Amino acid sequence: MKKLKNVTLLICIFTCVHIQAQHSLESAVHKQSAAKDFGYTWKGIVHFYKAPLKWKKKQWLQLGLVAGTYTALTFADEDLNPEFRAIENDVPKTVRVFGDAYGGPFGAVLISSGLYTYGYFSKKTKIKKAGILLMSSIAAGGFLQSSIKTIVGRARPGTEGATPGSYKPFSPLAAYHSFPSGHSMVAAIFTHSLASQIDNTWAKVGLYSLGAITPVSRLLNGAHWFSDVALGTFFGFITVNSIDRYLSGVYEQEEQQKLTNTWKLSTGITNFKVSYTFN
């Protein structure tokens, strides 16, 4: 009877120790995770800008194809602009306002922060990764498009005397920041970041449909030429794809290396054994 009491006491002690050890370990890993995640955000941005250094002939040919396509689209800008402007009032104002808001960086930053926070505290890696992907892509893409806008200095359609071929490189004026469309780029980043993390086809269709409202709204209100919107959207997609590849590798590796704790209790008539496995 005394031996049975001792065994019961030992089981209780080891159970308490296990619970406390597991809680302490999970707490430590959880605290380290936030610092790692924000490190991944920065590394994702660096990865995006370093990627061209590793490009091979195929990637440079693809860049040439993109540049050629953009040049071809510029010849259609002058004809397409009045077509979109003519139907502006036929589209409900709420839709146009939504399009501008959806492509605004402020909302994307708020939602990306919200996604990360929820994923972090709920310990859902996929949601957390979506937040990190969105934050990294917005930061990387935002710097890219703002730099190109200033360097190229393309005139917006509403600028006095402007044609699709009007440029003022390095102009600080917003009237000469038409190329590429920043709203279209943010909308593409926001939409593609979320859509790439889900498997439901209809949900993807819904997201991409919402994302398409922004570039169309920018054309309707005469903020950009068609080619600006097309390339801004393209930049958004390639930014997400580049950073997503990096983060997917990082988080897959993290999942494989995640700490696991296993307690094993073995009892017999003449023995009592507790083993703990730490990987």
Burial class (CB in 10 A: 0-12, 13-18, 19+), 70: middle
Whether 278 maps to a domain, the answer reads: no
Q: How confident is the model at residue 279, as a pLDDT? A: 47
Structure tokens given for 133: 């992907």
Long-range contacts of 261-267 (CB under 8 A, 24+ apart): 261/18, 261/21, 261/22, 261/25, 263/14, 263/18, 265/11, 265/14, 267/7
Is residue 6 in some structural domain? Answer: no
Domain membership of residue 221 (yes or no) is yes
Q: Is residue 134 part of a domain?
A: yes
Q: Which domain holds residue 126?
A: 38-260
Tell me the pLDDT tens digit for each residue of 70-89. 999 999 999 999 999 999 99
30 assigned to some structural domain:
no
The domain tally of the chain equals 1
pLDDT at 275: 46
User: What was the pLDDT predicted at 22?
Assistant: 37
Q: Does residue 158 lie within any of the structural domains?
A: yes
Q: Which residues of the chain have pLDDT under 50?
A: 2-31, 259, 261-279
Taking Cα atoms as reference points, which of 192, 158, 198 lies closest to residue 176? 158
Residue written as tokens 């839709």?
Answer: 95
In the chain the first and final C-alpha atoms are separated, in Å, by 38
Q: Is 174 a member of any domain?
A: yes
- pTM, rounded to two decimals: 0.78
Residue 27 lies inside a defined structural domain of this protein: no
Give CA–CA dist 223/220, Å, rounded. Answer: 8
Q: What is the pLDDT of residue 268?
A: 47
The Cα–Cα gap between 103 and 121 comes to 28
